[in-house]
């Protein structure tokens, strides 16, 4: 399993042709307490960089963008009942969607964990 990151603080964990998408710990700290998550429907096709979900916190509403293109195979319904999971476990249980990847070459445009950590230090 490999994890890739975007400059918008999304991550995608890839295993085979499946990608699990969420936001980073840095992102959830910037948002503050998450109070609502809007997820896409299963079957929706997301283009790289397009809106994949919406997160509302006590501070603001923010879009979550698809780090790679793919079809939504599953949405994390647990976030509907308990959006605070995004704060408690952003890079594990707080994932948003599972995608069937349509173009794995897009992963080459993303950062690995070391590059992402270095990027965050510049913010």
Q: In the chain, what are the helix, strand and coil shares in percent, each to the nearest 5?
A: 25, 40, 35
Alpha-carbon span 85 to 96, nearest angstrom: 11
**Could you tell me the pTM of the whole model?**
0.96
Is the residue at 121 inside a domain? Answer: no
Is the residue at 18 inside a domain? Answer: yes
| Number of domains observed in the structure of the chain | 1
Q: What does R_g of the chain's alpha carbons equal in angstroms?
A: 13
Q: Which domain holds residue 34?
A: 2-102+111-116
For residue 32, give the CATH number of its domain.
2.40.50.100
Is the residue at 62 inside a domain? Answer: yes
The Cα angle at residue 22 between residues 99 and 77, in degrees rounded to 5:
70
pLDDT string in tens for the chain (123-residue length): 899 999 999 999 999 999 999 999 999 999 999 999 999 999 999 999 999 999 999 998 999 999 999 999 999 999 999 999 999 999 999 999 999 999 999 999 999 999 999 999 999
Is the residue at 123 inside a domain? Answer: no
Q: Which two tokens stand for residue 4?
A: 């890739």
């Amino acid at each position: 399993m490999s994890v890739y990151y975007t400059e918008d603080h999304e991550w995608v964990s890839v295993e085979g042709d499946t990608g699990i998408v969420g936001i980073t710990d840095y992102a959830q700290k910037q948002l503050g307490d998450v109070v609502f998550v809007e997820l896409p429907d299963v079957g929706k096709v997301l283009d790289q960089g397009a809106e994949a979900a919406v997160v509302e916190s006590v501070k603001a509403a923010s879009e979550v963008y698809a780090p790679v293109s793919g079809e939504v195979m599953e949405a994390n319904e647990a976030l509907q009942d308990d959006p605070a999971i995004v704060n408690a476990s952003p890079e594990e249980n707080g994932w948003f969607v599972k995608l069937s990847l349509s173009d794995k070459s897009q992963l080459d445009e993303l950062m690995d964990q070391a590059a992402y950590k270095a990027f965050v230090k510049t913010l």
